[in-house]
Amino acid sequence: MQCQSVDLRMDVMEKLIDGHLYQNTLAALNEAAALVKLDPNILERLKKPKKAIMVSVPTRMDDGTVKVFDGYRVQHSSTLGPCKGGIRYHESVNLSEVSALAMLMTFKCALAGLPLGGAKGGVRVNASKLSRSEKQRLTRRYTSEISSFIGPEKDIPAPDIGTDAQTMAWIMDTYSQEQGHAVPGVVTGKPIEIGGSLGRSTSTGRGVIYTVEEACNYLKIKQDFNVKVAVQGFGEVGAAAATCAHELGLCVTAISDVNGGLINEKGLNVTAIKDYYSKNKTLKGYKEADAITNDEILVSKCDILVPAAVDGVINENNAKKIRAKLIAEGANGPVTLQAHHELVGNGVFVIPDILANAGGVIVSYFEWVQDLQNFFWSEKEINSRLREIMTSTFRTVLDHSLAEKADMRKAALGTAVKRVSAAMLLRGLYPQ
If you compute the radius of gyration of the chain from its CA atoms, what whole number of angstroms results?
21
What pairs with residue 108 in β-bridges?
none
- Kindly tell me which of 331 and 411 has the beta carbon lying closer to ligand NAD: 331
Active-site positions read: 120
Burial 388-421 (b: 16+ CB within 10 A, else e): ebbbebbebbbebbeeeebbbbbbbbbbbbbbbb
Q: Is 291 in the site for ligand NAD (CB under 6 A)?
A: no
- Kindly tell me which of 182 and 291 has the beta carbon lying closer to ligand NAD: 291
Cis peptide before 49 (omega within 30 of 0): no
Site string for ligand NAD, 180-219 (x = CB under 6 A): ------------------------x---------------
d(CA 415, CA 411): 6
CB 309 within 8 A of CB 231: no
Q: How far is CA 19 from the centre of its chain?
A: 18
- Kindly tell me which of 42 and 195 has the beta carbon lying closer to ligand NAD: 195
- Kindly tell me which of 310 and 424 has the beta carbon lying closer to ligand NAD: 310
Site string for ligand NAD, 246-285 (x = CB under 6 A): -----------xx---------------------------
Q: Closest CB to ligand NAD belongs to which residue?
A: 235
Q: Which of 72, 149, 170, 234 binds ligand NAD (CB under 6 A)?
A: 234
Q: How far is CA 135 from the centre of its chain?
A: 21
Rounded to a whole number of angstroms, the minimum distance from the CB of residue 232 to ligand NAD is 6
Q: Is 360 in the site for ligand NAD (CB under 6 A)?
A: yes
Work out the end-to-end distance of the chain between its first and last CA atoms, rounded to an integer number of angstroms. 36
Length of the chain: 432
- Kindly tell me which of 167 and 421 has the beta carbon lying closer to ligand NAD: 167
Q: Is the dihedral of CA 322, 330, 21, 69 positive or negative?
A: negative
Count of residues engaged in binding ligand NAD, rule: CB under 6 A: 23
Rounded to a whole number of angstroms, the minimum distance from the CB of residue 205 to ligand NAD is 8
Judged by CB under 6 A, the chain residues 315 through 344 that form the site for ligand NAD are 330-332
Q: Which of 25, 77, 357, 383 binds ligand NAD (CB under 6 A)?
A: 357
Burial 169-196 (b: 16+ CB within 10 A, else e): bbbbbbbeeeeeeebbbbbbbbeeebbb
Q: Is 109 in the site for ligand NAD (CB under 6 A)?
A: no
φ, ψ of residue 233 in degrees (nearest 5):
105, 125
What pairs with residue 156 in β-bridges?
84
Stretch that binds ligand NAD, among 55-63, 148-156, 234-242, 389-397 (CB under 6 A): 234-242
- Kindly tell me which of 216 and 355 has the beta carbon lying closer to ligand NAD: 355
Site residues (CB under 6 A) for ligand NAD? 159-162, 204, 232-238, 257-258, 294, 308-310, 330-332, 357, 360
